[in-house]
Each structure stands twice: as C-alpha cells, then as structure tokens.
Structure 1
C-alpha cells in the first residue's frame, strides 16, 4: 500500500518521478527537465505583453537590453527558489510558516492569495481578449467562457506531473511558433535588433517603460511554485544527489527562462518592426496591436497567430496559477480542499471583478484593469523574495548548500532594485489617484495602507535576523530528546469498515479483521447513492436500496458463519458525512476505508472520500488501496 505524505508540498505528485530509476544518462537528464517550463509561462503571460508592446512601438529595439537584464534577474531568483525546495524539501510557503509568527504568516498568506488572484485576472483578460480577437465574441462572453477551463487542471493532474508539463510545453511551443512566424512575416533588420542590446535610456518615458518591464519580471507566485515543483523529483539525499539536482534544475531554469525571454523579445521586436517603423508609437493596448497588424502587414495570418498565442499564453498561465494557489494554501494554513473547489474559487476571484468592470465601464477599461492587476502583483513581490533569500542564506538549515556571499550580495542588490521599482510604480499610481479623487476618507485608507505596507516589509526583512526557527516546526531536523514509550499494541473493540460492494471489499474486510481479535465487534457500512436515496434518505425504498441491503446481509451472514460478530448499517446521501456520522454513532474505535469506485466528473464532484472522512473523525483510519 502506498502511503501518501500529506505534509509534503503538492503531496499527490511529491517525489512521483524517480530519477534514480533512470539507467541512461540522457533519460536521467530529461527526467529532471520540466518544473522550470511550468514556471516560465509566468514570464510570458498576457500581463507582460502590454509593456513589451509599449516599449517596441515607442522606442523600437532600444529596450531589448532591459528584457535581457530582467531575464538574468529572474534566472537567479528562480534558481534560489529551486535550491530551497531541493535542499530543505520545503516550499516557500512552508518555510515562511516555520519562521514567522502566526499573525505575520496569515498576512503573508493573504498577500500571496491576492497576488495569485491578480495573476489569474491578467490571464482571464488575456484569454478573453484573445477569444474576442479570434472569433469576434463580445469580451463579456469571453470572460465568462474562461470559467470552463476550471477543470482542465484536474484532468491534467489525473495523468501525473509529466503529462501536465508536456501540456504546458505544448502551449509554450504554440506561443513561440506563432511569434516566430510573425517575425518571419515582418522581416526585422537583425543589425538594428542587435543594437538594442546596448544599454541606453532615451528619455524619462523610456525609463518608466523600463521600470514596468523590470517590475513585472519576477512574479511572486512563481517563487512559491518552483520551490514545490522541484520536489516532484525523487533524488538521492546524499551530497552527490543534491548537487546533481541543483545543477540539473539550474540547466532546466536556464533553458525555460531563455525561451520566455525569446517570446518577450519577439513581442517587442514585432512591435518595433511593425508599429515603430510605421510611426504608430501610440500602441500599448493588445487590441490595438492586433488590429494594426492586419492593416500594416496586409496579412490575415499575423493577427490570427497573435490571438492564438494570446489564448495559449493565458491558458498555460492559468494552470500554473492554480498550482501556486494550492501550494500557498497548504503551506501557510495546512489546509487541503478539493482541487476543483480551489480552482473555482481562484477563477471566480478573477472573473467577478472583470465582469463588473466590463458591465459598468465597458470594454475600454479592460486595459486599466490589466494595469491594476500588475500593480497588485508589484506590491507582493518583496514579501516573496526577501524571505527566500533569508532561507537560502541560512547555514543552519541549508548547511553547505547555503548560497555564497557573492550570490547573496547580488541577490539582495536585485531585490532592492525590484522592490524599489515596484514601490515607485505603486507610489506613482497611488499619488495619481489621491490627487484626482478629492475623497479624504479614501485618501486616508491609501495612506494607512502604505504605512502598513512599509511596516510589514521591515518585519519581513528583520524578523529572520533576530528570531530562530520555531522548534515545533522544524520537521526536517531531529529533536534532541525523543521518547517512543513502551510501544504497546492497541486493542480495538469496535472496528468499522466502509464497503462499496466491489472487488476491493475483500481487502477491506481482511485488513479490518487483521486489526481485531476474537472479542472485536465489526460494523459494516455502505452508503446508498441512488437518486431516490439522495432525495428521501433513510425513507428511500427503491430497487438499489433493497439490493444494497441484501448485499450487506450476505456479508454479515458470511462473517457470522466464521464466528465473527458483525452488524450492518446503511447510510444515505453524502458519502463522507454519512460514514463519519455512523462511525461516531456506533462508537467505533478504528475505521478501514477503500476506494469509492467513482471516476471522471463524479470523482471531481465528490472529492476524495478518505481525506474528507479522516478530517471528520478522531479515530485511526486505515486506507486500503
């Protein structure tokens, strides 16, 4: 029986890919590759397109060097995130929980959730715009349709992390190929493109756009995501295994983030070659870019590819955003909810403000909403990067794998730059709103929020310097005094077993009897799930209820023939709640569960019975698979 470690990050796929089982050197290398591709989609999502379009249309190729510098910053920070996951076996949310006080942790959790909602908002708007550009469907319908991808992640998760990575890589390839074809169509002058890598800032507007490009570089949820995804690989925990994992994940990050850089560079080059060259320096909206591609290039293919790339970018980003949400919730709160519910909540938090904005202000305000989502992301960035650098610098927990002083200095310098640029962008937006609002109450809230923001930032920086890790949270370190008592074998008097009348019942009954003795009483539980039973409950008397009672009586007769004391109880409606209720009413002191036999949509709808029951009872639960 496989025992799943629910305390592990992304426990359903934790260490699901065994690197050590790969015999070939190339197979082992390819087994490592994957996590960074899921991370890389955050660097080419629809939220980044606006700054790339603005930079290319207004200044040609002159800001390409900013994209390159941003990519190098991202590579360093993502490698630190991967290092935390590989060496400590903790994701960023778990490490924060083990370090900061509960109140600060809860605030950090809320900020992380806001960042994920803001990211998903950008994806929703990007996909909706892409659908509108491709089909002509009104934007409000495009936004509404994005709720249908809620279950896409759930389908992918059923096939394992490798299939999910392959799906994301396919979407990234669609984006990359679309822009490659676009570049072939526009035929940019390569000699001019190369000059764009020479650092220069033509004027203050260019500086503002550069700030926007750099400020939107590292997305907070990507740091949480990467530290968890690297743990899907099962490696040897010796020095050689850890160093190999660090090396291969750095290679993975380098390839994936460079691909993301090429996509962003392609967008900027496209804008420069088409709009800047034709004198259209006012293009910053995605819709404008799509419309002008057709007019200026005289090709129907270019705008179609642009829309397809936009949809693919949004779809790939929304999958990774949901994974990040799961990591954040489980890491900070140690709370697990059904994946479909988590996905639906994340998506609704993005769709609702988008729908309200479109209904009230119309399609024209979508661009402003996209900018607002990036401002929200900017505010959260420091609260992800600063703890991360603290963790990978700590020699007590990282040992010989703590980052070197040079890397530490470079990391803090990049963090200071990113936090400053993001704070400057947020400050500019806030001042602009305050001067135009004339509402003292709203202005007071904004000022109070700014003060609170600064106080929290200082706590995030200073607390790890003066506080040692909480002793009760150091799950990876053995305590000095451990006692395991006399190890007396437990005696169970009333053992319950939940049966689904399938082939699994024999294993469930066998395991239940193995944990009892000649004096143990057994309670056989089955939940009737017919339509009538769900409506009428215990008053149901349909064919399925009668047949279930007959099957239960057959089991009881067979057990009694073996001198085993057993009783049977039928439950109705909600499976997990009914099992928990019957267990409590029958005063059972041990419970044996098996699979519930449902597949597909019904499995998503009801969720994992074992997990739900486990949280509702206080007795030991054995899950037989």
Structure 2
C-alpha cells in the first residue's frame, strides 16, 4: 500500500484523463495507416508530458495554487493581464469543447457498437454527464469508470506482446522520425491526445490535495514520471497492436478497431472494446467540463464552488457544445480525430504561460526551471506550431 500511495496520485489522474477515446482512436488510426513509423511522436510526447506536468505540479506544490490563479496573480500590467486571461480562457473553451465532443463521440462509438440499434446516444450520454455534474457525485462514478479504462489498457499491453510485432520496425519507429505531408495531422493528433492542455490546469489544482511542502518535490517527481511513463507505454501498445493486426486495412468504426484485440479476446473483442470506449468517453466527458470550470475559476479569481452558478455555466457550456457537435452528423472517429488536432494547435498558448511562470524567482524561488526544462518546453511549442501551420495549410490547400 505504501508503494501505491507513493507512486500513484495526482499524476495517475492525469494519465487516466489522457488515456481516453481520443488516445485509443488516434493511436489505432496511426498504427492502421502508418504502421510503427509514428512511435517516435509518442516517445517525444510522453517525455514532453512528463516535463510539462512536472512543471505545473511543481508550481502547484510550491504556491499551493492552480495554474489559472498563478496566471492571474503574476501578470501585473492590466493590459497584458487582460490579454493573457482572454487568450487562456479562449484556449480552454475551444480546446475543452473540442475534447468534449471527442469524449462523447467516443462513448457513442462504444455503446452503439454493443447495442446495434438507432438511438440518440450522444444526448443520453450528455444528460447522464449533466446529472452527475449537477448533483456533484463525481468521485465514485469516476473511480468505477477509470477502473474499466485501466483494465482496457492492460488488455492492450498484453495483446501487444501476443501479436508478435516486428521489433526492428518498432525500434526504427521509436528513434527515426518520419515526417511527411500525409502524416502531419496524425502527428499533431498524437501530440494533442498526449499533452492535453486542460491536464496542466487539472494537475496544478489537484497537487495540493496530496503534497503540502517543498520537501515533497522528489516524491512528486517520481510519481509524475512513473504514472505518465506508464500512460505513454499504453499509448505505444495501442499503436503496436494496430500496426501488427490492421495496418493498411482502413478503420471506419468499432468493428475494425476491435480486430486488434482478437488475438487475446476472440469474438468478445468488440464488446470489450465497446465497453472500454464507453467508460473512457463518459469518464472524460465528466472530467473535461469540470477542468474547464476550475481553470476559469482560477483565471477570473472566482470564489466559488462546484454548485455555484458561474461554475455551472462554464461546465454546462462545454458539455452542451460537446453534445451538439457529437450529434450533427459527423462520424465519431472523425470528431475524435479533429478534437485531438485542436488540442495540438492550442497547446503552445498554455505552454508559453507555463514557461513564463516557472521561470519567476519571485514565485518559485530556487525551484524555477532548469535550462534543459525550458529547452524541452520551447521545443514542444516549436514542434506544435510547425506541425499546426503545415497541417492547417495542407487542409485549406494553401501550400
């Protein structure tokens, strides 16, 4: 029990948050369309996530405040503060709304694959999430759903071993970057589904529930590395099972996605994956609106709780947008993929402010960033901006 207490905590929640329907779908499509060649993106994104989440967790530990509160309190110029708050708020609303559409679409993809009859599942899932959030009984349901997500993750890791993958191709995919016109959106999606902007707010706010003083920093860093490292391995396992079983076959729905688990689960694969997608989707559909509301509470300085009107307006807005976009006729896989790309595009905005705060000695004293931490964080911004620019130009035919 002491091991679990030491190495599993706030960072485990971050890992459970990014191992959602977006990760499952984008990683499956990556393996199906590009084989093992984009594993390097997940290696980079996992290392970057460990660094960035450590930065925001360190900020939360030393200040005992969230990232939103730090942005509001540390930018003194009124014009600069207003611009910063508006930029961050816009990124939170757009990013979380897109992510919420992907969450609900993922849950729809899972449940409609189990119960094969026409029904407005997005509305049912949205109303269910609304009921849980409105009543405020989030923790118990989240624990059950996260347990199912963890079980699904273990199944993928076991299956990745059983499918006898091409180990030389895995090594090449991990350490030889492949960047082409065709895989740009896939790269951005893999970055966006791993380095999730709202997790930076969620982590900083949740750290104070477990860690209380600067003397806890080393334990926090160990927990962060273990939990997020395991999340990265799970994402890679999904790419590996997909590359080994459905490479080049095309993926349009749950049945094609489930083929990758048949080596372990046989005919039960579709039902298991459907349940896992549903659990991952609805748990994230509860978490994302809450994270947006907490972030807004921090940057605007609201003294409010889960049941206050302003707090509820934010999470209701995110939930409503997610349900709407999930219902307007796009295929669930397309919605999920677009959501992860949107996250990747908005990521540099949040990381910029995180770097700024983590280099302020007046805020963190001797716990400011080291040069290599700044270097990797700037690299995340640069890669995200380059891939975002090229991907958007490609989409709109500006190249």
TM-score, structure 2 as length reference: 0.85
User: Structure 1's 326 and 119: CA in aligned 2 closer, same or farther, altered over 3 A?
Assistant: same
Q: C-alpha distance in 2, partners of 1:380/1:257?
A: 21
- 2:38–2:173 CA contact under 8 A, matched in 1: yes
* 1:334 corresponds to which of 301, 309, 324: 301
Structural mapping, 1:518-537, within 5 Å: none
Displacement of 1:129: 0.6
Structural mapping, 1:12-161, within 5 Å: 27=2, 30=5, 33-98=8-73, 99=75, 100-138=80-118, 140-152=120-132
Superposed CA deviations along residues 477-507 of structure 1, whole A, max 9, x for unmatched, are xxxxxxxxxxxxxxxxxxxxxxxxxxxxxxx
Which range moves more in the overlay, 181-190 or 48-57? 181-190
Aligned to 2:217: 246
Structural mapping, 1:413-424, within 5 Å: 413-424=379-390
* 2:232 corresponds to which of 238, 261, 265: 261
Displacement of 1:338: 4.5
What secondary structure is seen at the aligned counterpart in 2 of 1:62? coil
Q: C-alpha distance in 2, partners of 1:78/1:219?
A: 10
Any stretches of 5+ residues in structure 1 without a counterpart? 1-25, 237-241, 359-363, 436-625
- 2:156–2:238 CA contact under 8 A, matched in 1: yes
Q: C-alpha distance in 2, partners of 1:407/1:296?
A: 41
Q: C-alpha distance in 2, partners of 1:215/1:190?
A: 26
Any stretches of 5+ residues in structure 2 without a counterpart? none
Larger RCO (alpha carbons 8 Å, 6+ apart): 2
Given the alignment of the two structures, is residue 205 of structure 1 paired with residue 185 of structure 2, yes or no?
Answer: no
Given the alignment of the two structures, is residue 218 of structure 1 paired with residue 195 of structure 2, yes or no?
Answer: yes
Which range moves more in the overlay, 365-374 or 126-135? 365-374
Given the alignment of the two structures, is residue 377 of structure 1 paired with residue 346 of structure 2, yes or no?
Answer: no
User: Structure 1's 349 and 77: CA in aligned 2 closer, same or farther, altered over 3 A?
Assistant: same
Superposed CA deviations along residues 243-298 of structure 1, whole A, max 9, x for unmatched, are x322122222212212221221122112111112xx52x33x44352365599999
* 2:289 corresponds to which of 322, 334, 341: 322
User: Structure 1's 401 and 192: CA in aligned 2 closer, same or farther, altered over 3 A?
Assistant: same
- 1:201–1:207 CA contact under 8 A, matched in 2: no
Q: C-alpha distance in 2, partners of 1:395/1:275?
A: 51
Given the alignment of the two structures, is residue 301 of structure 1 paired with residue 268 of structure 2, yes or no?
Answer: yes
What secondary structure is seen at the aligned counterpart in 2 of 1:299? helix
- 1:32–1:233 CA contact under 8 A, matched in 2: no
What secondary structure is seen at the aligned counterpart in 1 of 2:120? helix
- 1:33–1:249 CA contact under 8 A, matched in 2: no
User: Structure 1's 36 and 106: CA in aligned 2 closer, same or farther, altered over 3 A?
Assistant: same
Displacement of 1:350: 0.8
Aligned to 1:174: 151
User: Structure 1's 331 and 61: CA in aligned 2 closer, same or farther, altered over 3 A?
Assistant: same
Displacement of 1:216: 3.9
* 2:207 corresponds to which of 230, 239, 247: 230
Q: C-alpha distance in 1, partners of 2:11/2:262?
A: 37
* 2:322 corresponds to which of 338, 341, 350: 350
Displacement of 1:114: 1.9
Structural mapping, 1:491-570, within 5 Å: none
The RMSD of aligned alpha carbons is 3.2
User: Structure 1's 249 and 274: CA in aligned 2 closer, same or farther, altered over 3 A?
Assistant: same
Which range moves more in the overlay, 136-145 or 82-91? 136-145
Aligned to 1:405: 371
Q: C-alpha distance in 2, partners of 1:191/1:301?
A: 31
Q: C-alpha distance in 1, partners of 2:285/2:186?
A: 25
Q: C-alpha distance in 2, partners of 1:185/1:399?
A: 50
- 1:96–1:332 CA contact under 8 A, matched in 2: yes
Q: C-alpha distance in 1, partners of 2:174/2:261?
A: 28
What secondary structure is seen at the aligned counterpart in 2 of 1:61? coil
Displacement of 1:138: 2.9
Q: C-alpha distance in 1, partners of 2:157/2:226?
A: 17
Displacement of 1:132: 0.6
Displacement of 1:347: 1.6
Given the alignment of the two structures, is residue 289 of structure 1 paired with residue 266 of structure 2, yes or no?
Answer: no
- 1:37–1:169 CA contact under 8 A, matched in 2: no
- 1:47–1:370 CA contact under 8 A, matched in 2: yes
User: Structure 1's 377 and 331: CA in aligned 2 closer, same or farther, altered over 3 A?
Assistant: same
Displacement of 1:48: 2.8
User: Structure 1's 246 and 425: CA in aligned 2 closer, same or farther, altered over 3 A?
Assistant: farther
What secondary structure is seen at the aligned counterpart in 1 of 2:369? coil
User: Structure 1's 168 and 81: CA in aligned 2 closer, same or farther, altered over 3 A?
Assistant: farther
The structure carrying a bigger helix percent of its residues is 2
Displacement of 1:86: 0.8
